[in-house]
Chains A and B, each alone.
Chain A
């Protein structure tokens, strides 16, 4: 009998183990249901019966007010709704629960004793949870666009900054936005993963990660903190608004994306370092 560390916990097996969980399906269901629910609410809600054009919100030039123009506007608005909480929660779930749940099922010790080398176990876990997270971030705009196209048609994207983009440009802008959201969420992914390694309670890791994200968002609204806020990763949650300008200024997105990525990487490194030295007693 031979043993190869590089063959332990293959990506496909870990993906299968996670995909078979109800939690995964429910998380994706949440992501898909947001645009559907909003579209239904706007289409059949009370304001839709008054005869006038249906609009979300009261403004006519802000992002939410423009949501019902067409699929692209609807998608951008859904991304705006989903960024601060829904996607954060889903990403925290995928990354925060992955190791802690193994500990709570007691499967972690059997994997480590088999042995799956510790760093490899985490890296395989990271690969899979990041794949699941990326899929969630991708599903959000795709499902929104399809739902938006069915409910409101496929008119050009109208930016709250006054610019109008034909569909092909609009889709490329949405792609840039989605990519940015994905990168900026690496911060929450890293944080949740670190907490996952620190605790045996899966929901604890997820909850604390989401709570920290909310706390930082609150801090970010305190203008008295001034420039200090630039060091809060959540400060850059909505920097993708820059992608709605006529000509995109990437500077803040580059800064925000890089910073969130850096913070995420630090947490991943801390997680692997801690796990490598940990006495597994669960």
Chain B
């Protein structure tokens, strides 16, 4: 249910500032109405389960209603007053009964909001007569009469705080020069004295009457949580005290400050006081006739914008409109040697002298950067009005504005004192003031954590660590499972039922079986797409067989298998780092492959026949040079098995002949060479054995002589080859 004080039903529509017998009585009637409503849960007959929430005028209504009506089960008051006399005639001297200067601009703004409507309703508008009279008198006199003081008290929730027993959430804004943080602070202090010990929480957010509206979603969420906790009895961990800092981060999109919420388990008046020495001995200032020109600390409605403007201005010109030259001064600390955080009230004892028996001054808490920029948080000042000042001055304790303020190393924390402020009623005649500190600055700070709970800050890194461990486990579990098996034959290379079907269903190789003994030079033959390269790649551990297995010296060959270290290979062209020389490539390759023992570098280099080109970058090499370097690389360390795919590609006839001799020599040392080639004449001259595959299947396997003797017409391998595969020389798929 929502309602406003605009005058409906049997209410008069007259504004009484939440008088107990007017607005509060109306609100109680609304609770009666709720109790009769069928869709409202009841605690008892005539007692609905009800929470009440309001802002400013509505907040005071909520608090006063809760104090009068025990049926209210939860209260939320946002930016409201606790003491209306203190709100409109603020006095910041500790335990002074004198009312402070009249907050004229705010009071006028407040009053006109209810009187300046579309139709002229007389000077009082919708205000009840006694309130209208009080306002007129305040403007004329600058201070309330006894009767008016009593009237203001009668609608001040702090007078009724002891009767508030429902769980109460007090929310107050930092950008609020009308009802500053001190309103909620004092009320919270009072409510917490209650014997009932009902839940009390406080929020100091960044918004307020001065127009800032950056935290609305956050506040809505908190208000909803408070009702869920205390009306629906949900298990919710609601912090005792939350406050917003505005110096944490700025948005990159529009350079606005991103508010950051902190939470504490202690209300601020339960914190211990700390002290900061003030080094300025005294400040003196003039109050000009009529108080003009006047300092501007905050403006109704645009207070925060005004404060921001003043900060920008002071960054530029060492000047703040809240502190006019000659009319103001600062009681400064020494530059800080450690960061300082002030959350809550602060105070200082000062001696004030005046050339007249009275003084009106505006105290504030500011920081000054080493560059001279003055930062007055939200433009909030603490007005002071004293009378009967003797010649030696009056010693008073000034309660500075309650604030959330941070200062960094090198900054100065200062008590700002100004003789003028255009928001307040000030004397007509001129004065000369001096203010001297008699005590250190006494302040409080709050031990708070960022509202994003510390648990979360702890969980994220743990999550990161867990994800790391999970990734390691995942990779280990998912790694290819190939059980290395052992053959007990002394045949060098055994290929058994080898098959490869690619993921797209293409069968590159099926059921290939052959054996290679030591000292043999084996030729792997087949037309393009027959599966030669697929077979060789499986022998090198580059692709995974889908069937069958390969053994070298009885050890299983699979991708990454240690047995691969006994195979030297050259497949589908050379691969070198183009930005390094041939020699460096060989050196780095040897250092990369984890073998030790003799690398036979000299013999291998001799094969390359590169000469001085060996020290030039590979990028500059011809195809033939790279080819020879690659074959030399495959021989590094003289592995038992050399697997070469088209080794003579790109070589001229003389180099081919030399290569033939190199391979024969290699095999003559008891090592073995497997070559694939499409140059049949070349194979015929080099190889002792032949494996012939076609369309992924083995066609023939055996000694070269045996194979050649099968053909009676010719001793040419080419003829034999053609005969064996018949007319079936269809170009197959490239066996990539």
Name A's B-contacting residues (CB within 8 A): 1-10, 13-14, 16-17, 20-22, 59-62, 105-119, 156, 158-166, 169, 221, 238-239, 241-242, 245-247, 249-252, 254-255, 257-259, 261-262, 265-266, 268-269, 272-273, 276-277, 279-281
For A255, give the chain B residue with the smallest CB separation.
B460
Residue numbers in B under 8 Å from A257 (CB-CB): 460, 464
Query: Contacts A9-B592, A165-B409 given: A114-B572 contact, CB under 8 Å?
Result: no
Binary A-proximity of B460-497 (CB < 8 A = 1, otherwise 0): 11011001101110110011100000000000000000
In the docked arrangement, what's the CA distance between A109 and B570, Å? 9
Query: Contacts A3-B562, A262-B464, A276-B480 given: A246-B594 contact, CB under 8 Å?
Result: no
Residue numbers in A under 8 Å from B577 (CB-CB): 17, 20, 105, 107
Residue numbers in B under 8 Å from A166 (CB-CB): 409-410
Residue of A60, A158, A160, A161 with most partner-chain B CB within 10 A: A161
For B633, give the chain A residue with the smallest CB separation.
A110
B575 interface residue (CB < 8 Å to A): yes
B647 to chain A, nearest CB (A): 14
Residue numbers in A under 8 Å from B736 (CB-CB): 281
A106-B572, A118-B560 given; 4 more Cβ-contact pairs under 8 Å: A3-B565, A249-B245, A249-B450, A280-B542
Contact call A281/B595, Cβ cutoff below 8 A = no
**Stretch from B84-92, B248-256, B509-517 forming part of the interface with A:** B248-256
Residue numbers in A under 8 Å from B370 (CB-CB): 156, 164
For A106, give its contact among B373, B574, B579, B596 (CB under 8 Å): B574
Contact call A258/B592, Cβ cutoff below 8 A = no
For A105, give the chain B residue with the smallest CB separation.
B575
B624 interface residue (CB < 8 Å to A): no
For A220, give the chain B residue with the smallest CB separation.
B253
Residue numbers in B under 8 Å from A116 (CB-CB): 592-594
Provide 12 A-B residue pairs closer than 8 Å at the C-beta atoms, listed in order of the A residue. Answer: A1-B637, A8-B594, A9-B592, A10-B591, A13-B591, A109-B542, A161-B257, A163-B411, A246-B247, A255-B452, A269-B470, A269-B471
Within 8 A of A (CB), among B621-669: 633, 637-639
In the docked arrangement, what's the CA distance between A241 and B472, Å? 33
In the docked arrangement, what's the CA distance between A112 and B502, Å? 20
Query: Contacts A1-B637, A62-B255 given: A254-B457 contact, CB under 8 Å?
Result: yes
For B475, give its contact among A162, A221, A261, A269 (CB under 8 Å): A269
Residue numbers in B under 8 Å from A156 (CB-CB): 370, 410
Within 8 A of A (CB), among B302-319: 311-312, 315-316
Contact call B592/A114, Cβ cutoff below 8 A = yes
Please tell me the number of chain B residues within 8 Å of chain A, measured between CB atoms. 87
A258 to chain B, nearest CB (A): 4
Contact call B339/A246, Cβ cutoff below 8 A = yes
In the docked arrangement, what's the CA distance between A18 and B736, Å? 29
For A59, give the chain B residue with the smallest CB separation.
B255
Contact call B464/A265, Cβ cutoff below 8 A = yes
Contact call B457/A255, Cβ cutoff below 8 A = yes
Residue numbers in A under 8 Å from B467 (CB-CB): 261-262, 265-266
Query: Contacts A60-B316, A246-B406 given: A1-B595 contact, CB under 8 Å?
Result: yes
For B480, give its contact among A62, A113, A277 (CB under 8 Å): A277
Contact call B541/A250, Cβ cutoff below 8 A = no
Contact call B257/A106, Cβ cutoff below 8 A = no
A275 to chain B, nearest CB (A): 10
Residue numbers in B under 8 Å from A1 (CB-CB): 565-566, 595-598, 637-639
Residue numbers in A under 8 Å from B637 (CB-CB): 1
In the docked arrangement, what's the CA distance between A281 and B565, Å? 20
Residue numbers in A under 8 Å from B409 (CB-CB): 164-166, 169
For B407, give its contact among A108, A238, A246 (CB under 8 Å): A246
Residue numbers in B under 8 Å from A113 (CB-CB): 540-542, 564, 567, 569, 571
For A124, give the chain B residue with the smallest CB separation.
B592
In the docked arrangement, what's the CA distance between A143 and B157, Å? 61
